[in-house]
Chains A and B, each alone.
Chain A
Amino acid sequence: MKSTLRRKLPRLLRYPAANIGLLLVAIYLIVAVFAGVLAPYSPIEQRAADRLQEPGAHHLFGTDEFGRDILSRLMHGASSSLRIALFAVGLATLIGTAIGMLSGYAGGIADNAIMRVMDLFFAFPAILLALSIVAALGPGATNTILAIAVVYTPIFARVARGPVLAIKEMEFVAAARCVGSNHLQILTRHILPNMVAPIIVQVSLALSWAMLTEAALSFLGLGTQPPQPSWGSMLSESRRMMEIAPWMAISPGLAIMLGVLGFNLLGDGLRDALDPRLRM
């Protein structure tokens, strides 16, 4: 099964949009991972003499009202948003996929009960649910991760359940059962590898939503706490400075847009490349 993935992935490069997505995601990842090395200044150190500098040679993207370098804050903001998005989506993928597989495999009343609970989560708009969870737990990075994970778990459960329903009826599953494989072995060795493709696509899309949700929560002051930089909070803080220092708002806004665009394009490309129903 892995060979199928290996065979299909290069197809991704055939789509120009996916290439742009790949490039944007690559830049984002490099900046996020190496922010500590790449950033020219500390993201939180306040230098009174450098307050509200326009973009220029010393500060490529200018400085904010505290005299902090905006480029450095953007870079560190990328790390924190990547960290939160990865952990949250990772958590949602693990739990959601497990729930969906179990539910689909078990079938019957259990399936019904689990999926109705998932529907309950679905009924809330994602941002509203995330907001209320963070409001209940209190702001901060860990709680943001939890909130985003809870919001996206049902999506993974639903995405995982569908293929399981189809796959569990296939001959090779029956064959595995005949040779004495137990349920766990069937689920992990025979069913899971056959449904990796839709999960990967979903992960890529969920990463972009998670970034957006984190930015939205931080914008509202509930995500990453100051003085730690986050794209959302940078945008929120700069909103009132739009006329005095427009560069403060433009760069985090662009960063969010390009980051989300990258993951979305990549996700679309992956779907096109991996979806067996869309043969090119």
Chain B
Amino acid sequence: MLRKITLIVSLLALAAIMLIACAAPTAPAPVVQTKVVEQTRVVQATTVVEQTKVVEKVVTVTPAPTAAPKTGGILFAARATDMTGLDPHKQTAFASFRVLELIYDPLVTLDKDMKVVPHLAESWKWSEDGKTLTMTLRKNVKFHNGDAMTSDDVKFSFERILDEKTGAAARANYALIDKIETPDASTVVFTLKTANGALPASMTLLNSAILSRKAVSGGQDPAKVSNGTGAFKIADWQPDKILKLDANKDYWIPGQPRLAGIEFRTIPDEASILAGLRAKTIDWALINDPRVGIRAGAGGSGLTITRAPALAYHVLQLNASRAMFEDVKVRQAVSCAIDRQEVLDVASLGEGEVTSPATPPFYRTAQKDLFCYTKDMDRAKKLLADAGNPTVKFKIMAANAEPPTALAEAQNIQAQLKKIGIESEIESLELGVYVDRWLKGDFDATVALNGGNPDPDIMFFRYWHSTGNLNLVANYKDPEIDKLLEQGRVTADPAKRKEIYDNIQKKLADAVPWVWLYVGYEYRVMQSYVKGFVPLANGANTYLRETWLDK
């Protein structure tokens, strides 16, 4: 069924050099010295996933000297939040992924161009009818405890994910797997109930990392002891303080990891992380707050900053099941009254871009084709009038500091909606309380930062299919969207697939269950002697395994 698709590569490169003289110290000055924007569109031949990479690189003026990679040394890394748990199948927090992706490996992974490429599986092929996926595993992979990884471990891992008792975060992505067979130690055959071209893409998730059958069924709890196949292993973890990783000397990629170890420190205040970078006590850091990120290069700090548009998106979720938002016209009026760029300018100081419902660049529907993506006050007022000018009053739920921009977004949206007579109140909650209520769908409206994915099926199905595991959070059902999502899952042809997801996005923009706002940037800030790190558009840190210290 899966036919070979010809490789289309269109490359757009754009370089702009802006040299900025020393700005007045108090003025909010732009800090970009050199900007390279590279856009690559790749349609992958062996799978149906098609991705566009937009990686923007902001580097300081000094060109990086090229030298042969050195090995050894400890990288001191910092970020604001620690991981929340060790079991790779159960994690949902970004902070956990960013560490566990160094400890565990999935079968396949995404490369620099967000293309699905072999990882623990060295190759794979589909049967004619697209229902059987045969994967060949690498033979030289060992778990951290020294056991060899075999097809049996793969079977065990996927069965663990599919077992409802596990409570795996991404179970829905693999629900179509009917049975898993292991003809020999390095071959796994997945038989599906119906064809699902997105399966390899969903196998790139850390949530489908491979665990050891022997260790786990022998009583080792993955939530307590980590035993992966990844480039690093955990040497010491003091939650919310320090996490020490040692290099895995038996890692299956020869010569990697180049570092002898990584020491992650959790420093909740990102401004303090920046201070640490400037004082050179930190080598590498992950910064999410644009208000901190844009200052990292200021004043000739000599730091290297990479910035990539995130796939995670800022969104105003309206609850269509609440009385004030039942009428689609009211929701449409909200969408028309909000200037999304203004929200971005205020909350993230313009650091980001307004996004369509799908955030992977290839699948983003052109904004001109979406309902009211540019602010239109007259239309908003007319829509409210058509709805019978109801008194709309609601509460915007926002988490206190997660993301750091949430309260600013809520305040700006509140002010913008007031101009068409919609009154709102802001309810700021502590993150734990917020997440509880968010999962129950217990809110009139909320500002949220939701995770994205290179594949739109993984992004959309869980929220917008009536059986999706987060449909309660979306509080919106549409049989036609259900049908389109099911089609999208089994469609292999990229052009047709994009058309399906374009359709879904148009429907979502018309019905306005949510008002999609923007995607921000994620910043990786590092010392000039940190080499070889490549930021990925999905935020993954996997290239820390290629990172080395030039000192």
Contacts and interface: CB of A to CB of B under 8 A. Distances in A.
Interface in B409-434: 410-412, 414-415, 425-430
A244 B407 contact: no
B435 interface: no
B408 A139 contact: no
Interface string B5-35: 0000000000000000000001110000000
B389 to A, nearest CB: 24
A246 B427 CA distance: 27
Contacts of B291: 240-241, 244
B295 interface: yes
A237 B408 CA distance: 9
Contact of A246 (B26, B412, B426, B428): B26
Given A240-B289, A244-B295, A46 B412 contact: yes
Contacts of B408: 65-66, 237
B136 to A, nearest CB: 49
A225 B26 CA distance: 29
A107 interface: no
A168 B462 CA distance: 72
Interface in A198-249: 220-222, 225-227, 237, 239-247
Contacts of A244: 28, 291, 294-295, 349
Contacts of B400: 220-221
A227 B414 contact: yes
A51 B427 contact: no
A247 B26 CA distance: 9
Interface in B44-74: none
Contacts of B270: 240
Contacts, number: 71
A227 B426 contact: yes
Which bracket fits the contact residues of A? 20 to 34
| Highest count of chain B CB atoms <10 Å: which of A45, A54, A135, A244 | A244
Nearest to A66: B346
Interface string B485-504: 00000000000000000000
Which bracket fits the contact residues of B? 20 to 34
B298 interface: yes
A66 B413 CA distance: 11
B346 A225 contact: no
B426 A243 contact: no
A242 B289 CA distance: 13
Given A65-B346, A226-B411, A243 B427 contact: no
Contacts of A243: 271, 295, 298
A241 B274 CA distance: 13
Interface of A: 44-46, 48, 51-52, 54, 65-66, 135, 139, 220-222, 225-227, 237, 239-247
26 contacts: A44-B415, A45-B415, A46-B346, A46-B411, A46-B412, A46-B415, A48-B345, A54-B26, A54-B27, A65-B349, A139-B428, A221-B401, A221-B407, A225-B425, A226-B410, A226-B428, A227-B411, A227-B415, A240-B271, A240-B289, A241-B291, A243-B271, A244-B28, A244-B295, A245-B26, A247-B26
